[in-house]
Amino acid sequence: MSTDQNTNSELLRFTTAGSVDDGKSTLIGRLLYDSKSIFQDQYDQIKLVSEKRGEEGVNLALLTDGLKSEREQGITIDVAYRYFATPKRKFIIADTPGHTQYTRNMVTGASTANVALVLIDARVGVVEQTRRHAIIASLLQIPHLVVCINKMDLVDYDEGIYNKIQDDFEKFAAKLDVIDVHFIPISALIGDNVVNRSGKTPWYDGPTLMYYLENVHIASDHNFIDSRFPIQTVIRPYNDDYHDFRGYAGRMAGGVLKKGDEVMLLPSGFTSKVKKILGPSGELEQTFPPESVTVLLEDDYDLGRGDMIVRSNNKPTVTQDIELMIVWFDHNLPLQEKGKYLLMHTTQQVKCIVKEIRYKLDINTLHRNQEDREIQMNDVARVVIRTTKPIFVDSYRKNRITGSIILIDEGNNNTIGAGMVI
Amino acid sequence: MNYSLNHIKELESESIFILREVAAQFENPVLMFSGGKDSILMVYLAYKAFYPAKIPFPLLHIDTGHNFPETIEYRDQLVEKFNAKLIVGSVQDAIDKKLVSEEKGFNASRNALQTVVLLDELEKGKYDAALGGARRDEEKARAKERFFSHRDEFGQWDPKNQRPELWNLFNGNHQLGEHFRIFPISNWTELDVWQYLASENVPLPSLYFSHQRDVLERDGTLLADCDYIEKRPNEKVYKETVRCRTIGDMTCTGVWKSDAKTIEDIIAEVSTTRLTERGGRTDDKRSETSMEDRKKQGYF
């Protein structure tokens, strides 16, 4: 850990996907090691385990693969969260496995990420796994994509190879909905352009990976235009000091709310004004995502969990019919046309029915398959859903919080799907 | 206009969101309170999440009977300060009633018994959500833990079959008899916790600050000398200037040579240390997957 970490640093969440062979664990190990975030006792322990297994050198993958079965099988099964900090930023890595059968884990890691880190082996170039990771990043609308062309040491730091891979990737990415893509030639093993600049890539004048992660502009990754405040719970102290206190607790999901703002309450459509905003450290003049606050209104309406406070002149779509891209998680049953599920959206839970499966999306090729509509675990599909009650949605492109839902099995309560509103 | 939060405020906001989700989605939550800095942080966050109302759930302390006396004193003050409700589950009682039997020998610990008493208390209180101050950076098995961690009717954790958690959507739906373990400070690191406690001027148990104490060395770890530890003939007790980095049972919590007298000293120490805070916990050292094994059984 760094000695002078600033308490005013931003938090950046990034996701990685990949298998042992493409150097993902080595890269994470390198970031942790070079930023001095690996502790001596952790290092000693994985060194001991590596030796016990007769491995050559210290296997940094053991740092991230925490479960017994993962260590036994030498693979990442689940999402693992890792933390490190530099004087500039604090980082949370959602480290996920890269194979198709773990799409649901990749999607989970991607859902809250600011940056997606995609690794390409310089010796093999863009392959199916690269495309899959980029498609998931695009589907989940991760604001920034950084493509690390790794193992440059094994191709003699050849600029031509690097440019060819960049071209291939850009051609393919033109079909995607990615906003900001950046390329970096690295060697995770040796450390070229990871934390320290490499002397072997004089033809590359961009940032190192660490410099990129420390400086990429993330302050506008939230939506600060369309004010959305889903109510989680109502705070009523019921004591003499706060006799008539009725505060609406929630986390800002979009836009800005200011004291005195005229607001509309959904679903009723009544209007009121913001009387007071209480933050964790006292009263605030305004609030924005992702702050958790308590909002008090001028008028005494009876709002509750699932209701939403918005600006009168800027409403979300109030609807019972939504069209979505769904990622299916259930390993028991496929997604059923006419199937009934519970749907969770912001702080609302409603019942819903799948009215139509439009097509299955091949997440390796982007091909839309209208013939095969059997949606199994890890499949992605475009569907039409009707809910029993209106929900207040924005398109996922506009707002990742008010544009996302999960589906829940009514029988066993498992989370069986995740959806993004089109 | 700059709409950005620093990382500490963002973590605070995330934790408050989780605490409020628990109050909204569960009928009968409880906050597991150990007396350590992480559960102290949890109590302060819960206070902020529901202010000006009272914290809407009781605190549950599983008392092994081997606590540092300072821990109990601090606990009682905190409960009074926030006018909270405290429930104590006693391992000593369970032993006296012959519900469980105690480990014997040099490394005897009541850690395993704690799990039995905890599960028993959760069942007795019919709690459907147990909030805990575990963090993912603490230990490799905890790095895989969800915010909302589902437990079956036996209180067990199935790490390979966890509910995916996406965006801000936390699915707490459950069947009767099942409960959830909930970890609102999952994304905090040890340094984040200290920085926050410092910025909020939270008073802390004296154990965290450097003091003189009788200690003995065992397997490379310094333990505070007390009646609960059976000493080997060659183990010498001597005085040392130490502090605790984590606070647990006296039998398994290592103390740390340190001159850190203030919270600022602690932050400086934590920022430069090369050892993890659980490096001194003998309960984690029993095997490579000792935390995962205990968690599957229902350990916190």
End-to-end CA distance of chain B: 43
Binary contact (B168, A219; C-beta < 8 A): no
Residues of B in contact with A216 (CB under 8 A): none
> Which pLDDT score is estimated for A77?
60
Residue among A49, A68, A231, A402 with most chain B CBs within 10 A, to mutate: A68
User: A67: nearest CA in chain B?
Assistant: B141
User: B11: nearest CA in chain A?
Assistant: A11
**Per-position DSSP letters for chain B, written without gaps between them:** ------HHHHHHHHHHHHHHHHHHH-SSEEEE--SSHHHHHHHHHHHHHHTTSPPSS-EEEEE-S---HHHHHHHHHHHHHTT--EEEEEHHHHHHTTSS----STT--SHHHHHHHHHHHHHHTT-SEEE----TTS-TTGGG--SEEEE-TT----GGGPPP-BTTB------TT-EEEE-TTTT--HHHHHHHHHHTT----GGGS-EEEEEEEETTEEEE--TTSPPPTTPPPEEEEEEESS---TTTBEEEE----SHHHHHHHHHH-SS-GGGGBGGGGSSTTHHHHHHHHT--
Name which of A11, A256, A418 is nearest B3 (Cβ-Cβ).
A256
Q: What are phi and psi of B129, to 5 degrees?
A: -145, 125
Q: Token digits for B112?
A: 């395993």
Binary contact (A233, B20; C-beta < 8 A): yes
User: B140: nearest CA in chain A?
Assistant: A66
Interface A–B counts its CB contacts (< 8 A) at 189
**Per-position DSSP letters for B218-275, written without gaps between them:** ETTEEEE--TTSPPPTTPPPEEEEEEESS---TTTBEEEE----SHHHHHHHHHH-SS
- The SS3 of residue A31 is helix
Per-residue pLDDT of chain A (422 residues; tens, 9 = 90+): 333 445 668 999 999 876 556 778 788 888 887 777 777 777 777 778 778 877 766 666 666 655 555 555 555 567 888 888 888 999 999 988 777 778 888 899 999 999 999 999 999 999 888 888 899 999 999 999 999 999 999 999 999 999 999 999 999 999 898 879 999 999 988 889 999 999 999 999 999 999 999 999 998 889 999 999 999 999 999 888 888 899 999 999 999 999 999 999 999 999 999 999 999 999 999 999 999 999 999 999 989 999 999 999 999 999 999 999 999 999 889 999 999 999 999 999 999 999 999 999 998 888 999 998 899 998 999 999 999 999 999 999 999 999 999 999 999 999 999 999 99
Q: Token digits for A112?
A: 């809250």
**pLDDT, mean over chain B:** 85
Q: Token digits for B149?
A: 């961690």
Measured at the alpha carbon of residue A45, what is the angle toward residues A39 and A46, in degrees to the nearest 5? Answer: 95
Please, is A164 exposed, middle or buried when counting C-beta atoms within 10 Å of its C-beta (0-12, 13-18, 19+)? middle
**Of the candidates B16, B164, B131, which has an alpha carbon nearest to the alpha carbon of residue A233?**
B16
> Which pLDDT score is estimated for A154?
95
The reply to whether A317-421 shares the fold of A3-220 is: no
What is A228-311's CATH superfamily?
Answer: Translation factors (2.40.30.10)
Residue with tokens 């014997």: B104
Give B208-233 pLDDT, tens digit per residue. Answer: 999 998 888 887 788 887 777 777 88
Residue among B168, B256, B284 with most chain A CBs within 10 A, to mutate: B168
Residues of A in contact with B12 (CB under 8 A): 280, 292
Please, is A55 exposed, middle or buried when counting C-beta atoms within 10 Å of its C-beta (0-12, 13-18, 19+)? middle
Whether A150 contacts A186, CB under 8 Å = yes
Residues of A in contact with B173 (CB under 8 A): 342, 408, 413
Q: Is the C-alpha dihedral spanning A319, A324, A329, A333 positive or negative?
A: positive
Q: Token digits for A300?
A: 């005494």
Task: Judge: domain A317-421, CATH 2.40.30.10.
Answer: yes
How much is the pTM? 0.91
Whether B186 contacts B136, CB under 8 Å = yes
Name which of B10, B167, B186 is nearest A11 (Cβ-Cβ).
B10
Q: Do β-strands A368-369 and B29-32 pair in parallel, antiparallel, or remain unpaired?
A: unpaired
ω into A237 cis (within 30 of 0): no
> Which pLDDT score is estimated for A262?
97
> Which pLDDT score is estimated for A2?
38
What's the one-letter identity of residue B62? I
**Per-position DSSP letters for A275-290, written without gaps between them:** EEEEETTEEESEE-TT
Task: Judge: domain A3-220, CATH 3.30.930.10.
Answer: no
Name which of A90, A241, A245 is nearest B7 (Cβ-Cβ).
A90
* Residue A178 per-residue DSSP state: -
Measured at the alpha carbon of residue A248, what is the angle toward residues B48 and A413, in degrees to the nearest 5? Answer: 90
Burial A69-93 (b: 16+ CB within 10 A, else e): ebbeeebbbbbbbbbbbbebbbbbb
Whether B124 contacts B90, CB under 8 Å = no
* Residue A196 per-residue DSSP state: B
> Which pLDDT score is estimated for B297?
62
Reported in sequence order, the residue ranges of A217-270 that DSSP labels E, i.e. its strands, are: 228-235, 247-251, 257-258, 262-266
Residues of B in contact with A4 (CB under 8 A): 271
Residue with tokens 């990129």: A212
Q: Token digits for A339?
A: 């199937």
- The SS3 of residue A139 is helix
Name which of B51, B166, B187 is nearest A404 (Cβ-Cβ).
B166
- Packing angle, helices B190-199 and B263-272, rounded to 10: 160
Q: Token digits for A372?
A: 């095969």
> Which pLDDT score is estimated for B1?
59
Cβ–Cβ contact A96 with B under 8 A: no
| Domain range list for chain A | 3-220, 228-311, 317-421
Tally Cβ neighbours within 10 Å of residue B238.
Answer: 11
* Residue A152 per-residue DSSP state: G
Binary contact (A90, B192; C-beta < 8 A): yes
Interface of A with B in 317-336 (CB under 8 A): 329
Q: Which residues of chain B have pLDDT under 50?
A: none
d(CA A163, CA A184): 11
Exposure on the CB side of residue A234, measured as CA atoms within 13 A? 15
- ipTM for the predicted complex comes to 0.92
Interface of A with B in 355-394 (CB under 8 A): none
d(CA B58, CA B79): 10
> Which pLDDT score is estimated for B176?
85
Reported in sequence order, the residue ranges of A108-227 that DSSP labels E, i.e. its strands, are: 115-121, 144-150, 180-185
Residues of A in contact with B51 (CB under 8 A): 235, 278, 294
Residue with tokens 């009387």: A275
d(CA B33, CA B87): 10
